[in-house]
Amino acid sequence: MPDINKMISDANGMRKNALKMLQEYMAHYAALEKEVQSRFQEEFSHNNHKIAGLEDFHQLSYICKKNFGTVRSACNLLSRMSDLSGFDISEHDELVKELDKILKD
């Protein structure tokens, strides 16, 4: 039978690691979105405020913004998960032995 306390500890550790990685990913996407948007605006102004020829750039900018929102939502979901570390589910052999002894008497 698996040790519940170890499983709880592993689940908490996995959540913390995933959250940390997602936060790093979110920071990377934020920088990427900012850079793509800045470059798009720059090219857009050089193109006399016409989108012709910048469709791919515009699409990339939109996808980066959408992906950033998705990663941010995933971070929020993980951060709202309840911490299980306050639970200690362990069998106490002494209590079981004492109960067996009482029941036998």
Segments in the chain below pLDDT 70 = 1-2, 90-97, 99, 105
What's the number of CA atoms in the CB half-sphere (13 Å) around residue 58? 8
pLDDT value at position 92?
61
- Whether pTM > 0.95 for this model: the answer is no
pLDDT value at position 3?
80
Query: How many domains, the chain?
Result: 1
pLDDT value at position 6?
85
**15-43 burial code (b ≥16 CB/10 A, e <16):** beeebeebbebbeebeeebeebbeebeee
pLDDT value at position 18?
95
Per the structure, the complete domain to which residue 23 belongs is given by: 4-104
pLDDT value at position 1?
46
pLDDT value at position 94?
62
